[in-house]
Chains A and B, each alone.
Chain A
Amino acid sequence: MEKFSFKDVLVTFAGLLITAFIAWVLISATGNNPSEVALYLYEGGFKGTRNIANSLYQATPLILTAVATLISFRVGMFNIGINGSMYVGALYAGWAGYKFTTLGHFTHVTVCILIGMLVGAAWMLLPALLRVYAGVSEIISTIILNFVAVLFVSYMANGPFRADPIAPATPRILETAELKQIFPNSQFNTGFFIAVFVAILAHFVLNKTTFGYELRSGGDGLVGMYPSRFSSYLGIPSDRSAIIGMLISGALGGLAGAIEVLGAVRYFFQELEFNQGFDGILIGILGKLEPIGSVIASLFYGAIKNGGFYVDYKTDVSREIIIVLISILIFFVSAQKMVKGLEKYPLIKKLDNFFSRKKM
């Protein structure tokens, strides 16, 4: 994959500046004070233990969905159904959380997480098989499955798994199934460390193992390029890579959902709404399809998101505006061409040369 270069730093910086300008205009137009909003955005994202904890909490599922996205992309599959995996993973982790009553804490949490991952992976099996054996575009099948997932979990929460006669929700999970919340008044929980660990593991597996090499030999930057002639020419079964990549991707989506339920929400209910599966696509791309890059991007995104909630609470700028601004930011940050002409300046060129120098 492409490594980060000085140009990326420049683009990000320029993107921030432009977004800040647009934000200033937008917020002024709604009759608010931009510098006040900026202050609250900063405070909500970064100031004090509780805000930082909440920012990290927001980042947790994003890390996982971003890594889920980048893994599928890097095997050459265009998986945009991670949100669906997240829903079913959350539902079944929640189910396991109240169903198994005799397990100890560690075992119970592990079982719940594994079930969430398994269901999330299973959710991706159909599109993977359809792609490999019938040539059905995974883009289309995973989009459709996103809709199916929402309807499916709401049916389950309403019917088979419903506990509460008033609200369509599952029973609360048992204490033995909880991921511990560490700070008072914050939903930040140990799931964050699982997410970071998964990202580091993904980095290691993708870049430093033969298994990862086989997975990405056919894709890696060639998104949607399955089936790859290069893999089959080398004797690496690209069908297997495509299916495994999709399953891992789904499992991580399921894990994101499981952590939400086990660590924060503590039960599954019909109105529970996820969109991190979609945000993960943006963040994965923003992180250059590298796990570590995606963690950094997720932390940033999580902080802005939490800052947005704070702004919403403190001022009458709604959090939707903040979401709009994040989108604008991503739009500009991915606008690589923006700095294309700059490389003719000697200083920029020197810096770029310096930053793109590699070890190997």
Chain B
Amino acid sequence: MNKDIAIHLKNITKEYPGVVANKNVDFQVFKGEIHALVGENGAGKSTLMKILYGIEQPDEGEILINGKLEQINKVETAINLGIGMVHQEFTLVPSFTAPENIGLGQEPRNSQGIIDWKGLNKLVVNIAEKYGFKVDPSLKMIDASVGVQQRTEILKTLYRNANILILDEPTAVLTPQETDELFTVIRTLVDEGKTVVFITHKLREVMEIADRVTVMRAGEVQGVSETKNTSIAELASQMVGREVFLQVKKDDAKPEEEILNVEDLWVHDARGLLAVKGVSLNIRKGEIVGIAGVEGNGQSELVEALTGLRKTSQGSINYLGENIASSSPKNIRRKKIAHIPEDRTNTGLNTQLSIWENLIGNSYFRKPLSTNGIFNLKKIATHSNKLKEDFDIRAPNISLKVKSLSGGNQQKVVVARELSEDPILTIASQPTRGVDIGNIEAIHEQLVQMRDDGGAVLLVSAELDEVMAVADRVGVMYEGQIVKWVNPKEVDQSQMGLYMAGIKD
């Protein structure tokens, strides 16, 4: 490999009010390599990359690009230096097509200064072809899948002649298939001479795609290694700062009486199409039932129906002997059913509110948190601080807006709230999406603890590993139906893959 250094961040320190996001960070990327930057949520990865991309200014430290000292105090400078960044949250105009988004602000113009749309489309299609991906120039981003949106973001950087691409947690939002496609794209990019910085906290992906990896924890670099000389376990312990159990530790379930019995449930989706087609399942006290399956096979609608967020069309949901189908979310919540939703930022949280305001969402109306409709702020503070401690929510104080927390800590706020009111049934949907290893472990432990304390748990997840490790029984969902029930100890991944593709036996 060519050992020219493309990026050298030297001794970078960056402090936000109350938190040191980067502390004397030294970060080197060789030209032409795929360099993974890993670390738990809040480790300071995004901050470091924002500094490189000119969005944030370091308090201390230097940036060398291709060996030359550079002052990157705005994004334009970074772009001119050939740096391109795809953010964790996409920055596309939903009503624009891919070429319109890609060319935005730098459209080719004809001699009268009028935008040459045809030329733009051609240019975009050419770039896409060069790197081996397809674009549909007429598809608006609002109708595009997440994978397509992400490729559009990547094309946007290539259109601006990026040589160094920073991808901030690109796989957090992707299905396994889309992840594979992304990896193909990344490999092509590197073959074409680009350098890629790939941020993630999924270590399996690091081992699969990266040449080298830098691990960060709490704003500091913990180590740099070549992937061929390290292991997932080693990286995980560097990341978390202690040994990590990649397997969920739990005893066999001791299920007791039935809590939930869903019979022949049919549910329509937002567009009025049938999404759940005759699902039956039951959950007993003291067990975790998992629902596996590729996303978009009716899992979301199933969960929404169970939690009252969506009307059912047919069938019954019997909870402790009472049919709660099409009941209101309020009624369902008051019956001690907790819900960790898949959409954290818009449904599970109001990110504009403070941590404590989010933590009391299911308990604000009860004593002693409020009396006769008036808050007891002291009691609320005690309650919230206890949850913050118990669930290890990393924040300087509970008055901080949830918006300013990292994704993993945001999820901990949701989990803490939902598990706090002694639920009888807990419905967890994609509970560890976008959450780092250390916290995934914690959330899994908490779900198992719920079970061992006599709760019933429904775990819906597109992460096969997760369902297989945590659940005691697993149903595979395909096209709105549960096509197979399995004991996770008795099947292997490839068999599950077939069920997930709708092949029954």
Contacts and interface: CB of A to CB of B under 8 A. Distances in A.
Given A210-B364, A233-B309, A233-B329, A356 B348 contact: no
A235 B350 contact: no
B163 to A, nearest CB: 28
B375 A233 contact: no
A277 B414 CA distance: 39
B399 A360 contact: yes
A2 B354 CA distance: 9
Contacts of A232: 309, 329
Contacts of B343: 229
Given A210-B365, A220-B352, A229-B346, A360 B357 contact: no
A359 interface: yes
B391 interface: no
Contacts of A213: 357, 360, 364, 375
A208 interface: yes
A233 B339 contact: yes
Interface string B295-319: 0000000000001110000000000
B349 A230 contact: yes
Contacts of A217: 350, 353, 357, 361
A337 interface: no
**Most central of A208, A220, A229, A359 by chain B CB within 10 Å:** A229
A47 interface: no
Interface string A196-231: 000000000001111101001110111000001110
A230 B374 contact: no
A86 B103 CA distance: 48
B237 interface: no
A216 B357 CA distance: 10
A236 interface: yes
Given A221-B352, A360-B377, A234 B399 contact: no
Given A230-B347, A360-B397, A235 B374 contact: no
Interface in B347-371: 347-350, 352-353, 356-357, 360-362, 364-365, 370
Task: Bin chain B's interface residue count.
Answer: 35 or more
B329 A235 contact: yes
A360 B57 contact: no
Contacts of A341: 57
B373 A209 contact: yes
Task: Bin chain A's interface residue count.
Answer: 20 to 34
Interface in B376-405: 377, 381, 384, 397-399, 401
A99 interface: no
Nearest to B343: A229
Interface string B309-339: 1000000000000000000111111100001
Contacts of A221: 352-353
B181 interface: no
B232 to A, nearest CB: 35
A210 B373 contact: yes
Interface in A341-360: 341, 344, 349, 352-353, 356-360
**Most central of B334, B356, B374 by chain A CB within 10 Å:** B374
B66 to A, nearest CB: 26
A235 B57 contact: no
A217 B348 CA distance: 12
B350 A230 contact: yes
B372 to A, nearest CB: 9
A233 B397 contact: no
A222 B353 CA distance: 10
**Most central of B339, B341, B352, B373 by chain A CB within 10 Å:** B352
Contacts of B59: 344
Contacts of B346: 229-230
Nearest to A234: B361
A233 B365 contact: no
Contacts of A235: 308, 328-334
A234 B348 CA distance: 8
Nearest to A223: B352
A123 B284 CA distance: 53
B105 interface: no
A235 to B, nearest CB: 3
B252 to A, nearest CB: 34
A210 B370 contact: yes
B272 interface: no
Contacts of A233: 307, 309, 329, 339, 341, 347-348
B15 A349 contact: yes
Contact of B401 (A2, A216, A349): A2
Contacts of B397: 357-358, 360
B113 interface: no
A213 B375 CA distance: 9
B362 A234 contact: yes
A302 B422 CA distance: 52
A222 B333 contact: no
B473 to A, nearest CB: 27
A255 B180 CA distance: 62
A210 B375 contact: yes
A236 B57 CA distance: 42
A98 B15 CA distance: 64
A234 B350 CA distance: 11
Interface in B455-477: none
Nearest to A237: B330
Contacts of B350: 217-218, 220, 222, 228, 230
B375 A234 contact: no
Contacts of A352: 17
A220 B353 contact: yes
Interface in B13-35: 15, 17-18
A3 B384 CA distance: 19
Nearest to B401: A2
Contacts of B375: 207-210, 213
Nearest to B362: A234
B359 to A, nearest CB: 11
Nearest to A7: B17
A73 to B, nearest CB: 11
B368 to A, nearest CB: 13
Nearest to B17: A353
Contacts of A207: 375
5 contacts: A208-B377, A222-B352, A233-B329, A235-B330, A236-B330
Question: Which 8 pairs between the two chains have the least Cβ-Cβ distance?
Answer: A235-B330, A221-B352, A358-B399, A235-B329, A230-B350, A229-B347, A234-B361, A235-B333
Given A210-B375, A356-B17, 13 more contacts: A2-B401, A213-B364, A213-B375, A221-B352, A230-B349, A230-B361, A233-B307, A233-B339, A234-B361, A235-B329, A235-B334, A358-B399, A360-B397
Interface of A: 2-3, 207-211, 213, 216-218, 220-222, 228-230, 232-237, 341, 344, 349, 352-353, 356-360
Interface of B: 15, 17-18, 57, 59, 307-309, 328-334, 339, 341, 343, 346-350, 352-353, 356-357, 360-362, 364-365, 370, 373-375, 377, 381, 384, 397-399, 401
